[in-house]
Amino acid sequence: MKIIRKTNELEQILVLIKDKGQSIGSVLTMGNLHDGHLSLIKEAQINNDFVVTSIFINPTQFNNETDFSSYPKTIDDDIAKLEKIGCDLLFLPEIQEIYPGDLLKQNIVNNFRGILCDKYRPGHFDGVTTVVDIFFSIIKPNASYFGEKDFQQIKIIQELVKIKNHNIKIVSCPSIRDDSGMSLSSRNSKFTNDQSKIFNQLGSKIYEFINFCKKKSSNINLDNFKKQILENSINKIDYIEIRNENNLDITNVSSKARLFIALYIGEIRIIDNFKLY
């Protein structure tokens, strides 16, 4: 596996790949890789001749400096995992390579905003779309792969591609889940043993509710479910909502809908979504 830190070196390699008529898949990550990330890379490997994985902890998508500086960093383990699954190239740039001037972010996408995570993390998705646009402009992949745990992010990135005329297919991949049914997340590595138990109990409560929703199919009431969640040692709920997966509008009908959650176990923010059909 090649490890490249400089943009100009990466671009030279990718020109040679494209000159051979080979397709390029990309998986953009912030590291602390788990089986969810690796599943995206494996999907990219199946459908492309050459796969570029990036690890870059993007400062412009964090709401505070503490959250950014405390984000898990496991680069040696990450490299070992990428080598094990045969990733072709790891792009590992420094901050100044991606942001050579000030840490500026742009408001590129306005659809699917003001709801869900965007409501509670103002500016976050401006940071996401800014850095994804930069990486897309550098790598110019044929396809890029994203996990459905960040479902709102996928919708926004699909809009970014349209707005910026990137000739890139955005591939949405199902979440890889643990035994409790919750999506894997890098932040979960920070749980204490007690917090892990709370997390597993949360999964059980959620799937009880999902089964109820599938039977009821319409006029679903979230009030009792929210009370049960708060009784489960959950510090705070940002949102628990049912939304249509196509337009992200609020709905109380399970058809083509997902349950979206964002809540806190201790100081760790958990986001996830679950099909209700």
The predicted structure's pLDDT at residue 65: 86
**Does some domain include residue 152?**
yes
86 in the same domain as 24: yes
pLDDT tens per residue across span 192-211: 999 999 999 999 999 999 99
90 in the same domain as 50: yes
Q: How many other C-beta atoms can be found within 10 angstroms of the C-beta atom of residue 95?
A: 13
The predicted structure's pLDDT at residue 184: 95
The two tokens of residue 229 are: 């969640």
106 in the same domain as 28: yes
Using the 3D structure, point to which of 122, 144, 173 is the last residue of a domain: 173
pLDDT tens per residue across span 1-32: 999 999 999 999 999 999 999 999 999 999 99
Mean pLDDT over each residue of the chain, to the nearest integer: 96
pLDDT tens per residue across span 101-160: 999 999 999 999 999 999 999 999 999 999 999 999 999 999 999 999 999 999 999 999
**Does some domain include residue 95?**
yes
Please state the separation of Cα 150 from the chain's center in Å.
Answer: 4
pLDDT tens per residue across span 214-261: 888 788 889 999 999 999 889 899 999 999 999 999 999 989 999 999
Clarify whether 34 is annotated catalytic. no
**Does some domain include residue 144?**
yes
The predicted structure's pLDDT at residue 63: 86
DSSP, res 275: E
Q: Which domain holds residue 64?
A: 2-173
Whole-prediction pTM value?
0.95
DSSP calls for 209-228:
HHHHHHHH-SS---HHHHHH
What per-residue string of b and e applies to 9-18 under the rule 16 or more CB within 10 Å gives b?
ebeebbeebe
132 in the same domain as 209: no
Please answer whether residues 45 and 163 qualify as being in contact, where contact means their C-beta atoms are separated by less than 8 angstroms: no
71 in the same domain as 22: yes
Using the 3D structure, point to which of 173, 194, 210 is the last residue of a domain: 173
CATH number, domain containing residue 99: 3.40.50.620
254 in the same domain as 168: no
**Does some domain include residue 178?**
no
250 in the same domain as 226: yes
Please state the domain count of the chain: 2
242 in the same domain as 161: no
Using the 3D structure, point to which of 173, 198, 227 is the last residue of a domain: 173
The predicted structure's pLDDT at residue 24: 98
Q: Is the pLDDT at 64 greater than 90, yes or no?
A: no
Residue 66 banded pLDDT, cuts 50, 70, 90: confident
197 in the same domain as 159: no
112 in the same domain as 248: no
CATH number, domain containing residue 228: 3.30.1300.10
pLDDT tens per residue across span 159-179: 999 999 999 999 999 999 999
Q: How many other C-beta atoms can be found within 10 angstroms of the C-beta atom of residue 19?
A: 8
pLDDT tens per residue across span 75-85: 999 999 999 99
**Does some domain include residue 180?**
no
**Does some domain include residue 179?**
no
